[in-house]
Structure 1
Amino acid sequence: MDFELPSMFSRSEALASGFTDDDLRRARADGELYTVRRGYFVRTEVYRTLDSGARHLVLARAIHAESSRSVVFSHVSAAVLHGMQLWELPLDKATFTVARTYAGKRGRQRILRVAPIPPTELMEVAGLPVTTPARTVVDLARSLPMVPAVCLGDCALRLGLTHRDELGELLSGARTRTGIAKARRAVGLMSDGSDSAGESRSRLHLHALPLPPPLVGQWVYDDDGVLIGRASFLYPDHGVIGEFEGGGEFGAEPVLPSLDDRRRHNRMQELDWTVVRWNWRDLSSPRALTDRIARAFLLASAKRAPAGTFSAARG
């Protein structure tokens, strides 16, 4: 049966297109349709192509279609709508906020929170009402563990969805809200210089070590001003460069460096930088990673100062 309907459609839309309830039952039994929620469906072949964020959004759209007009996408569901990275965000429940006085609700597929939503903290994305990126970052910083909250905020800053002054204003406005102290700590650790969730995690690990803070996202040049490449973390006074090498977006498996990566690595070493590299798997063993970084500092102490220059802006 050919359901040439949008990626998600309701029972009423199917009936209006000429299908019957028997058609829907047969298609579900045959595995042709996937039931997102009672009365809402997606063609199974389409659903299988969706990543976890897109599947979450399908569920959130279905729930929102049955909600009152005052219900707004927020928290995790807002982060998905804004295109933020979803590392370690719980995607099993759609999350909404409503500016009412009754208590919030938590169900199998939905979390409904109750909180004021000033007009300045509300916008539309793809025709859907959603909290602004800044409000979304602060809401999640109040409710998520520190590391995923910082990774999310880094992503929002990197993509230009918000900026530090805006986050500061939102923190001030939410000063009486639950979790605000945790949110302040998380926002204080956020940066627009990390290229990925892996770099954000790495930066937090380095921040906890008894080392000076590294320069983040620096471009390294030789003595002739020729660009060598980007360094994730650079310690100029110690001659050390730290490199996060992601395996997929959040993959645990290491990826073999490309020829260009190896050339960049070798050229940095030729300039007397001591380069230490790690990946997602290494981040799961922080003690071993700390030892490797310490060895890099020890090795660099016996070498001369690196040649060339570096800059936060690519020339």
Structure 2
Amino acid sequence: MTAPELVDLENLVFLRRDVLDQGYDDRHIVRMVRCGAWHRIRRGAYADGEAWRSLSETDRYRLRCRAVLRTAHSSSSLSHVSAAIEWGVPVWGVPLDEVHLSRVDGKGGRREAGVVHHRAPTPAEHLCDLRDVRVTSPTRCAVEMTSMTGVESALVSVNGLLHLGLTTPADVAELAHDLRFWPSSIGANLVVRLADPRLESPGETRTAYFMWANHLPKPIPQFQIHDEHGRPLARVDFALPEHGVFIEFDGAAKYQEHRRPGETLEDYVLREKRREERICQLTGWVCLRITWSDLNRPRELALRIRRVLESRIRADQ
């Protein structure tokens, strides 16, 4: 079980008490923050200003999590979306304005100052030391996500955990059953049913969920296309072989991750167009491309897909 490499944030957070222990006072802190040398992460917690400005929004959130842990009860661990972010999996549709902690000190759950304290039994096997922080395990994190957000949002993170091999569908299903009496866990069974480790990105997960939610045929993810000699030619995001259709999700990340060294965006688009044409020639299928904006207009997208499927049926008659 190995989490993906993330930016190292160890020792970047320091507290007001650390500064005072070095002989400085509050006026010095104010001056350092005003001039930009330090950045105030939250009340009483700071980081080097230049380091803060260099971080992405996700890594700034991770730093806020560390700032919260520095003053939290020693039994606290990052959980829910905070653990998902630290495990390096995608999060969609969940605001990053609060840090989520699980605690086992006997105090009730509460929400205060941008921190959500969850009280739940947390055995040692549900906790991991990851980098410089304690987090809930990938399996526990997957079940936690099903309890804090909707099915579609939860699936994005759960599929991320599964695709990276950090947990398994069987392990998530077993723990979801064990924790079935958790508050807000009603959607866990559906997430377990729809989860698929083959889905590689939030866009693919949302596309698969869209097809299910709109009662469209279930596509096969990561479908391999072979050439005339039976050799692997290409892999498409989704295929509906019985309908003669394949689906590609077009997100901005694809145009960055799949470009070859030195390849311009225009070169990549032309290469992708030639790839699509080759697949269509070999299979006789048609391609449906789906974007983020398409998913934001589900009625229009469902109508477009149904029209394409119906046209394929008529063509075969």
Report the TM range for the smaller structure's normalisation. 0.7 to 0.9
Q: Equivalent residues in 2 for 1:111-190 (5 A)?
A: 111-190=116-195
Moved more, 71-80 or 26-35: 26-35
Runs of 4+ in 1 over 6 A off after TM superposition: none
1:276-310 deviation per Cα after TM superposition (whole angstroms, max 9, x unaligned): 111111111111111221232233335569xxxxx
Q: Is the partner of 2:94 in helix, strand or coil? A: coil
1:15 is displaced (CA, Å) by 5.0
Give the 3 Å change call, closer, same or farther, for CA 22–209 of structure 1 in structure 2.
closer
Match of 1:85 in 2: 90
Match of 2:278 in 1: 267
Aligned partners of 1:37 and 1:62 also within 8 Å: yes
1:161 is displaced (CA, Å) by 0.9
1:31 is displaced (CA, Å) by 2.5
Aligned partners of 1:276 and 1:292 also within 8 Å: no
1:90 is displaced (CA, Å) by 1.8
Supply the AA of the counterpart residue of 1:147: E
Q: Distance in 1 between matches of 2:244 and 2:24?
A: 69
Gaps of 5+ in 2: 1-9, 257-264
Q: Distance in 1 between matches of 2:216 and 2:85?
A: 35
1:238 is displaced (CA, Å) by 1.2
Q: Distance in 2 between matches of 1:227 and 1:169?
A: 36
Aligned partners of 1:228 and 1:267 also within 8 Å: no
Q: Distance in 1 between matches of 2:45 and 2:109?
A: 24
Supply the AA of the counterpart residue of 1:265: E
Q: Distance in 2 between matches of 1:6 and 1:128?
A: 11
Q: Equivalent residues in 2 for 1:188-207 (5 A)?
A: 188-207=193-212
1:100-147 deviation per Cα after TM superposition (whole angstroms, max 9, x unaligned): 433211013101011100122111111322110110110110121111
Gaps of 5+ in 1: 306-315
Normalised TM-score (structure 1): 0.87
Match of 1:308 in 2: none
- What is the aligned residue count? 297
- 2:31 corresponds, among 26, 33, 36, to 26
Supply the AA of the counterpart residue of 1:129: R
Q: Distance in 2 between matches of 1:210 and 1:136?
A: 29
Aligned partners of 1:157 and 1:163 also within 8 Å: yes
Q: Distance in 1 between matches of 2:160 and 2:38?
A: 35
Q: Is the partner of 2:100 in helix, strand or coil? A: strand
Q: Distance in 1 between matches of 2:21 and 2:315?
A: 75
Q: Is the partner of 1:201 in helix, strand or coil? A: helix
Q: Is the partner of 1:237 in helix, strand or coil? A: helix
Supply the AA of the counterpart residue of 2:305: I
How high is the sequence identity, in percent, across the aligned residues? 29
Q: Distance in 1 between matches of 2:63 and 2:216?
A: 45
Supply the AA of the counterpart residue of 1:266: E
1:48 is displaced (CA, Å) by 2.1
Q: Distance in 2 between matches of 1:148 and 1:165?
A: 20
